[in-house]
């Protein structure tokens, strides 16, 4: 069985960047939030960030998903340990850079905390000039 080729200009999946590495940057306040979580969770977050840097927009569920409650928005959540971590990194792609704008508790464990972090991420991302 052969795979069909996408027609030129068709809906193709994004390709990994040359060299396979994407830039991932923390907003300073998000970096402070990440530093405040328990050490074993920091390692899980670091591993998830490494996956985002390696795969960029190809990083799929369960490692990354669209933020619910952000209709039409570009916010995504990085899900350490394939979603089994109680922490999430709220991020957005700006050009060829992924910006982690907030670190949040998982929404089902702390909905109010997650919503506060999403609001903070939106504010922080609005401060960044593309």
28: domain range? 20-126
pTM for the structure as a whole: 0.83
The CATH number given to whatever domain includes residue 52 is 3.30.2310.20
1 part of a folded domain: no
Which long-range contacts does 30-34 make (Cβ < 8 Å, 24+ apart)? 30/89, 30/90, 30/100, 30/101, 30/102, 30/103, 30/121, 30/124, 33/102, 33/103, 33/117, 34/89, 34/100, 34/103
How many angstroms separate the CA atoms of 54 and 22, rounded? Answer: 6
Query: pLDDT by residue (tens digit) across 65-98?
Result: 999 878 778 999 999 999 999 999 999 999 999 9
* Number of domains, the chain: 1
């Amino acid at each position: 069985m052969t795979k069909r080729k996408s027609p030129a200009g068709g809906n193709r999946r994004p390709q990994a960047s040359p060299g396979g590495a994407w830039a991932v940057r923390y907003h300073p306040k998000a970096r402070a939030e990440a530093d405040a979580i328990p050490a074993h969770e920091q390692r899980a977050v670091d591993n998830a960030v490494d996956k985002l840097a390696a795969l960029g927009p190809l990083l799929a569920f369960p490692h990354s998903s669209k933020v619910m409650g952000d209709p039409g928005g570009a916010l995504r959540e990085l899900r350490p340990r394939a979603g089994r971590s109680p922490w999430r990194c709220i991020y957005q792609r700006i050009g060829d850079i992924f910006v982690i704008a907030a670190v949040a508790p998982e929404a089902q464990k702390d909905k109010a905390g997650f919503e506060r972090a999403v609001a903070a991420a939106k504010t922080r991302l609005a401060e960044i000039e593309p």
